[in-house]
A and B are shown apart, each in its own frame.
Chain A
Amino acid sequence: MIQQVTTTESDRAQDAPIAPPDHLVGKSCRRIDGKEKVTGTALYGADLFPNSAELFASVVRAQHAHANITAIDTTKALEVAGVLGVYTHVDVGGTNIHGLIRRDHPALASKRVRYLGDAIAVVVAKTERAAKLGRDRVEVSYEPLPVIATMEQAIADGACKLYPEGNVMGDKRIRKGDVERALANSHVVVTDTFFTQTVDHAFLDIEAGTGHWDGQVLTLYVAGQWVHEERRLIALALGLPVEQIRIIQPVTGGAFGGREDISIQIYLGLAALKHQGKTIALRYTRSESMRARHKRHALKIESTFGAKADGTLTAARIVVHSDEGAYASTGIAVMRKAASHATGPYRVPNVEVDVYGVHTNNNPTGAMRGFGACQMAIAYEGMMDRVARALDMDREAFRRKNLIQSGDTVTTGQHVDPVSIGHCLSKALAKFKEQSYPGNEKLPDYMRRGWGMSAICFGLGYGDGFPDCSRARVELNDDGTATVYTGGVEVGQGLLNTMMQIAGEDLGLPMEHMRIVAADTELTDESGSSSATRQTYFTGNAVRMAASELREQVLDIAGIKLKVHPHEITLQQGWAFETNKPDNRVSIQQICTEGLTRGYSLKASALFKPRTITEVPQTGQSPRAFITYLFGAHVSQVLVNMETGEVKVERHIAAHDVGKAVNPQSVEGQIVGGVAQGLGMALMEEVTYKDGRIMNPGLTDYIIPTIKDLPPVEAIIVEHDDPGGPFGAHGVGEPPLIGAVPAILSAIYDATGKAPCELPMTPERTWRLINDVRENDPLTKVF
C-alpha cells in the first residue's frame, strides 16, 4: 500500500523564519489515510473488483463437519455455462497445506474434512454468478465420521480421533514453588470454574481480493497481518519460489487477529496460476467468512487460589482446557500465552498451571485480540473478587496488597521493571470517584447498580524465544521529503502514522514532508506481523534506528555546508541550522542536492531483533519470556435489571500505560475500541455451534455492540517511559480489551451479589445467575 501526502510546501525562502519545533511524537497528527477513507476512494480488497476482475472464483466447502471424502465429481460443475475450470487437491503444485505454527491445514482437502469450513475445490468462471452455480454443482461423496462437538466429547474414552495421535493437541505447564503445601497452609482456599465463549473477530471488511499470474510473478492483493509470512505459506502450498510471489496489502478494514491465518490467498493463487494473464477475483459473503475463519478460543478455566488471613495470596492452581477446533492455527502460542498470564499482575509465590489444547470439529481457533491472556484475565480477576469476598476484604485493598511492584516477578518468574499497575489502578479509580457519575438517583427495587474493577498485565510480542524481528528503511527523497518503508501492515490501528511520526521526529521534518510505503513484499522488508501489540515497539524501533542513522547522514552533509560540527546542528521543520546561530542554515532539500552531487547515500535501514528466552518446558519459567510488559486498569459501572437480567454498562474507565503515546488520538481510539470489543465479549458475543455447525453465521444473530450499547468510555493514557521502546513507547492494541471484560463482570458481581462465571452475560445468563438456575435445570424447560 502506498500512501502519499501532497506537498504544498514549495518555497523554502532562505529568509523566512524557521517554524518552531513541531514534535511529531506525542502529537495527534491527522491520519494519513483519513481523507481517502472518508471520501470512499480508499481501495479495500473488494473494491478492486469492478475495474480489474476478469474471472471469478468460488470455493466449495465441506458439507460434513467430520467425514472421509470418498469421491469428488466436478463433471456437472464444468457443464455450467461460464465455468472455465474446477480445481481440487490434485491441481495444487505444492504441499497443499498451510498453518502458522504447524503445517496441518490442507488448502484443498483430499481425504478428510475436519470442519465445515474445510475447502475442497475452487471453481473459476466468467462471472461470479456462474462460479457460485458451479460451486453448488460439485458433487462430493462422504463417509461421515462421528462429530466431536465439545471438549468433553473429545477427551472422552473411545472418542473418535481427529488425528492419529489423539485429540489433545498439546499442553503447557507452569510449576513454581509448592502449591500443595501452600494451599494446605492458607487461611482461605477459593475454587471456581470459568467458561469463556467462542468469539468471532467480525471485522467489517469481508475477505476479498484479486490474483494475477503473468508467467513470472503471482501478484495477490489480499489483506493479511504479516505479508511476508503469508508469502512463505502460499509458496509452500502452491509450490512456487517465494520470489515469484508478490503480496500487496490493500486498504484493510480491521483484523483483530482474524487475518493471521491464511484465508483466500491460496485459492486465488491457484486460480490465477491456472488462468495465466487473467485477473481473478474472489470475495466471501459474511456467512462464508464466519464459517471459514478461525475464532477466539473458548476456554474452560478451573481456578483455585489460596490466601492468608491478612490477604496475602499464597498459591494458585489452574487447569485450562482450550477448544482448539479442527486445526492447530496459532493455538499452541495461545496456550503458552494463557499459561504465562495465568496469575496476571499479582504476586503469587506458588503456581501450578496446566493448559490442554483439545481438538474438536468446530472452527479452528487462533489469534484474536488478547490471545489467551484475555480469557485468563477473566479468571484471575474473577478470583480476586471471590477471594476478597471470602476474606471479607475490600476489593481494592486486597488487589493492592498483592499487585506486583517494580522488580517483582510474574507467573513465568520474569522480573518486571518498571511496573505501573498500581499507578494505572489509582488513576482509574480516582477518575471514577472524582465526579458524580450517573446514577445517584433512587432505583426501583428490581434495578441494581454496581461497579467493578480490573488490573491486568500483558507480555508484548511473540515472546518465549520465538524469533521476533522488524526491519525498516528510511530514505530522503530528492524533494526533501522522506519515505518510510516497512513490511508492517496497517489494518486500521494507525501503524502508518505511528511510523511516519517516529521517523519525522528524528529527522526534524513536518508531517506533510513524510511519506510511507507499507506491506508490499516487493518494496518493503519483513517487519513481522501486526499482532501481539508489537508493531509500535518492534517496527517503531526499527524505524527509529533507521531514521537515526539517516539523521547522521543528514547532519554529516549539513556540517560540511554549515561549516560546524554536526553536534552543533539542529534539525527542525525541514531545516538544518547551527543551534546557537539559526541564521546559518540549509534546507533538507539542499542537503539532498548536495548528497546527490557528492554521491552520498541518504538512506538507511535497520533491523530490530531483541531476544526473549524460551520458557523451560517442565516449569514454564523464563528470565525473559516477554520483551516488556504492559499494564492497565479498568473501572466499570453497570445497571442490572434483576427481573429481566439485562445489563447496561453506564460508565467505563480505562487507564493504560502505553510508555509514550506516539499519536494520542490513535491510542485513545485503541483504548475505547478495545473496551467496545470487551463489552461485546462480556455481554453479547458468542458463536454458537450445533454439531460443528455455526448457528449464527451473520451479523443478524452474532450480536456486536452498537452505538447505543456503549457508555461514555473515559480513556486515560498513562506514560511511564519504556527504556526499550522508541521514544519510550511500547504499545496498546490488546490490553484495553483484556481489561474491559473482567471489570464488567466484576460490576455485575457487585450489583447482583452473584459471581458470574460464564460468558457472555446475556440477559438469559444473568437471569439464571441471579436466580441460581442452571442451564440444564428442568425448571427452566418451560422457556
Chain B
Amino acid sequence: MPEPTPMEIPTIQVACTVNGEAFTRDVPVDMPLLEFLRDVLGLTGTKGACLEGECGSCTVLVDGETINSCLMLAAQANNRNITTIEGLASGAELDVIQDSFVATGAAQCGYCTPGLIMSARALLNDRPDISETELLTALEGNICRCTGYASIIEAVKRAHRESQSS
C-alpha cells in the first residue's frame, strides 16, 4: 500500500486555550502539541531538543500540570488550558522565576530555560514549602548542557524566597 501523501493526512479540529487566549485550528492528527504551539501558533518560546520526552525542553503546563509537549498530540489538547513561557510575564514585568534565572545567570545558552522555568513554575504553584529533594525531583526531567545546574537551583530557591516574602 502506498504511503499517504502529505495531502491525505487527516486533520482534526482542536479548540484550546493558550496563555488565556482561545484558539480553534484544524491540525494533522499526528501533530505533536509542540509543533502545534511552535509552527501553527508561532509560539516559539517552547523548545524541542530531543523530541522523545527525555530532555524537558518542551515542557508546558496543561491544566497546571507539566507536560512534555513533544509527546502529547495537539488533538489531545482539545478543551485544555495551556500555559507556555510566553504566558508568564505580565507585560514588561517578568515572572519572579524568570527574573531569578537572569539574576543568577541560570540562562547560559538559554535553550533549556523555558522548559525549566515552566517546571519550576508548576513546583512553586503547588507548594509553599519545598525541600531540596522536591526541588531536584521537580527539575530532574529537564536537561541542561551548559550550567551544571548550580545556578538553576539557586534561581529557583531565590524565586521561592522572593515569592514567600512578597
B130 within 8 A of partner (CB) = no
Chain A interface residues (CB < 8 Å from chain B): 28, 30-31, 33-35, 37-44, 46-47, 49-51, 80-82, 127, 129-130, 133, 202-206, 251-254, 256, 285-286, 491-494, 665-666, 668-669, 672-677, 698-700, 704, 706-708, 710, 712-713
Question: Complex Cα distance A202/B50, Å?
Answer: 10
Contact with A along B53-96 (1 / 0, CB 8 A): 01101000000000000000000000000001110110000100
Q: Who on chain A is nearest to B155 by CB?
A: A38
Contact B102 A31 (CB under 8 A): yes
Contact A253 B54 (CB under 8 A): no
User: Which residues from 85 to 113 on chain B have a C-beta closer than 8 Å to any C-beta of chain A?
Assistant: 85-86, 88-89, 94, 98-99, 101-105, 107-113
Tell me, rounded to whole Å, the shortest Cβ–Cβ distance linking A701 to chain B. Answer: 9
Not counting A202-B145, A205-B47, A668-B150, a sample of 9 additional A-B residue pairs whose C-beta atoms are within 8 angstroms of each other reads A39-B45, A46-B38, A49-B39, A50-B44, A130-B5, A494-B108, A676-B145, A700-B52, A706-B142
Q: Across the interface, which residues of B come within 8 angstroms of A254, CB to CB?
A: 108-109, 111, 145-146
28 contacts between A and B (CB under 8 A): A30-B102, A31-B102, A38-B99, A38-B113, A39-B98, A40-B43, A40-B44, A42-B110, A44-B111, A133-B5, A203-B109, A253-B49, A254-B145, A491-B109, A492-B111, A669-B108, A669-B147, A669-B148, A674-B148, A676-B149, A677-B145, A699-B143, A706-B142, A707-B139, A707-B142, A708-B140, A710-B150, A713-B150
Question: Complex Cα distance A33/B146, Å?
Answer: 15
Q: Across the interface, which residues of A come within 8 angstroms of B140, CB to CB?
A: 706-708
Contact A31 B111 (CB under 8 A): no
Contact A50 B6 (CB under 8 A): no
Contact B147 A286 (CB under 8 A): no
Question: Complex Cα distance A708/B108, Å?
Answer: 19
Report which of A50, A672, A708, A713 forms a contact with B42, defined as CB distance below 8 A: A50
Q: Who on chain B is nearest to A34 by CB?
A: B102
Closest 7 CB pairs of A and B: A40-B45, A492-B109, A253-B111, A37-B110, A676-B148, A672-B148, A34-B102
User: Which residues from 101 to 150 on chain B have a C-beta closer than 8 Å to any C-beta of chain A?
Assistant: 101-105, 107-114, 117, 136-137, 139-150
Contact A35 B109 (CB under 8 A): no
Q: Across the interface, which residues of A come within 8 angstroms of B145, CB to CB?
A: 202-204, 254, 256, 673, 676-677, 704
Tell me, rounded to whole Å, the shortest Cβ–Cβ distance linking A35 to chain B. Answer: 6
Tell me, rounded to whole Å, the shortest Cβ–Cβ distance linking B85 to chain A. Answer: 4
Q: Who on chain B is nearest to A255 by CB?
A: B109
Contact B49 A206 (CB under 8 A): yes
Contact A253 B109 (CB under 8 A): yes
A37-B107, A205-B111 known; A672 and B143 CB under 8 Å? Answer: no
Contact A710 B149 (CB under 8 A): yes
Q: Across the interface, which residues of A come within 8 angstroms of B21, CB to CB?
A: none
Q: Across the interface, which residues of B come within 8 angstroms of A677, CB to CB?
A: 145
Contact A698 B109 (CB under 8 A): no
Chain B interface residues (CB < 8 Å from chain A): 3, 5-7, 9, 38-40, 42-52, 54-55, 57, 84-86, 88-89, 94, 98-99, 101-105, 107-114, 117, 136-137, 139-153
Consensus secondary structure, chain A interface: loop
Question: Complex Cα distance A381/B47, Å?
Answer: 39
Contact A204 B148 (CB under 8 A): no
Report which of A39, A129, A204 forms a contact with B49, defined as CB distance below 8 A: A204
A133-B6, A203-B109, A204-B145 known; A43 and B44 CB under 8 Å? Answer: yes
Tell me, rounded to whole Å, the shortest Cβ–Cβ distance linking A137 to chain B. Answer: 9
Q: Across the interface, which residues of A come within 8 angstroms of B51, CB to CB?
A: 285-286
Contact B152 A707 (CB under 8 A): yes
Tell me, rounded to whole Å, the shortest Cβ–Cβ distance linking A259 to chain B. Answer: 11
A38-B113, A205-B49, A286-B51 known; A30 and B6 CB under 8 Å? Answer: no
Tell me, rounded to whole Å, the shortest Cβ–Cβ distance linking B22 to chain A. Answer: 19
Question: Complex Cα distance A673/B151, Å?
Answer: 10
Question: Complex Cα distance A81/B84, Å?
Answer: 34
A35-B94, A204-B145 known; A700 and B54 CB under 8 Å? Answer: yes
Contact B39 A204 (CB under 8 A): no
Tell me, rounded to whole Å, the shortest Cβ–Cβ distance linking A651 to chain B. Answer: 13
Q: Who on chain B is nearest to A283 by CB?
A: B48
Contact B39 A50 (CB under 8 A): yes
Q: Who on chain A is nearest to B87 by CB?
A: A40
Q: Who on chain B is nearest to A712 by CB?
A: B150
Contact A35 B147 (CB under 8 A): no
Q: Across the interface, which residues of B come within 8 angstroms of A38, CB to CB?
A: 85, 94, 98-99, 101-102, 107, 110, 113-114, 117
Q: Who on chain A is nearest to B113 by CB?
A: A37
Question: Complex Cα distance A51/B38, Å?
Answer: 10
Q: Who on chain A is nearest to B147 by CB?
A: A673
Q: Across the interface, which residues of B come within 8 angstroms of A713, CB to CB?
A: 148, 150
Q: Across the interface, which residues of B come within 8 angstroms of A33, CB to CB?
A: 107, 110
Question: Complex Cα distance A698/B51, Å?
Answer: 9
Q: Across the interface, which residues of B come within 8 angstroms of A31, CB to CB?
A: 102, 105, 107
Tell me, rounded to whole Å, the shortest Cβ–Cβ distance linking A11 to chain B. Answer: 21
Contact B49 A286 (CB under 8 A): yes
Contact A251 B148 (CB under 8 A): no
Report which of B38, B86, B137 forms a contact with A39, defined as CB distance below 8 A: B86
Question: Complex Cα distance A491/B149, Å?
Answer: 18
Contact A80 B39 (CB under 8 A): no
A676-B147, A699-B50, A706-B140 known; A204 and B111 CB under 8 Å? Answer: yes
Contact B105 A28 (CB under 8 A): yes
Tell me, rounded to whole Å, the shortest Cβ–Cβ distance linking A309 to chain B. Answer: 41
Q: Across the interface, which residues of B come within 8 angstroms of A203, CB to CB?
A: 109, 111, 145
Contact A127 B38 (CB under 8 A): no
Instruction: Kindly name the residue among B6, B89, B94 whose own CB sees the greatest number of chain A CB atoms within 10 A.
Output: B6
Contact B108 A493 (CB under 8 A): yes
Q: Across the interface, which residues of A come within 8 angstroms of B47, CB to CB?
A: 44, 46, 204-205, 253
Q: Across the interface, which residues of B come within 8 angstroms of A206, CB to CB?
A: 48-49
Question: Complex Cα distance A35/B147, Å?
Answer: 17
Q: Across the interface, which residues of B come within 8 angstroms of A127, CB to CB?
A: 6
Question: Complex Cα distance A665/B5, Å?
Answer: 52
Question: Complex Cα distance A50/B84, Å?
Answer: 17
A669-B147, A672-B147 known; A699 and B54 CB under 8 Å? Answer: yes
Question: Complex Cα distance A708/B153, Å?
Answer: 11
Question: Complex Cα distance A155/B45, Å?
Answer: 49
Contact B54 A81 (CB under 8 A): no
Contact B151 A672 (CB under 8 A): yes
Report which of B141, B151, B153 forms a contact with A669, defined as CB distance below 8 A: B151
A43-B44, A286-B49 known; A673 and B146 CB under 8 Å? Answer: yes
A37-B110, A38-B94, A699-B143 known; A30 and B44 CB under 8 Å? Answer: no
Q: Across the interface, which residues of B come within 8 angstroms of A204, CB to CB?
A: 47, 49, 55, 57, 109, 111-112, 143-145
Report which of A669, A700, A712 forms a contact with B146, defined as CB distance below 8 A: A669
Instruction: Kindly name the residue among B9, B51, B110, B137 whose own CB sees the greatest number of chain A CB atoms within 10 A.
Output: B110
Contact A708 B136 (CB under 8 A): yes
Question: Complex Cα distance A713/B152, Å?
Answer: 13
Instruction: Kindly name the residue among A38, A80, A713 whose own CB sees the greatest number of chain B CB atoms within 10 A.
Output: A38
Question: Complex Cα distance A741/B109, Å?
Answer: 23
Question: Complex Cα distance A82/B4, Å?
Answer: 13
Question: Complex Cα distance A700/B50, Å?
Answer: 8
Contact A80 B46 (CB under 8 A): no
Contact B54 A34 (CB under 8 A): no
Q: Who on chain A is nearest to B141 by CB?
A: A706
Q: Who on chain A is nearest to B103 by CB?
A: A30
Q: Who on chain A is nearest to B42 by CB?
A: A50
Q: Across the interface, which residues of A come within 8 angstroms of B110, CB to CB?
A: 33, 37-38, 42, 251, 253, 492
Q: Who on chain B is nearest to A667 by CB?
A: B105
Q: Who on chain A is nearest to B89 by CB?
A: A39
Question: Complex Cα distance A563/B43, Å?
Answer: 56
Q: Who on chain B is nearest to A253 by CB?
A: B111
Contact A51 B42 (CB under 8 A): yes
Question: Complex Cα distance A50/B42, Å?
Answer: 6
Q: Across the interface, which residues of A come within 8 angstroms of B146, CB to CB?
A: 254, 492, 669, 673
A40-B85, A133-B3 known; A673 and B108 CB under 8 Å? Answer: yes
Contact A492 B108 (CB under 8 A): yes
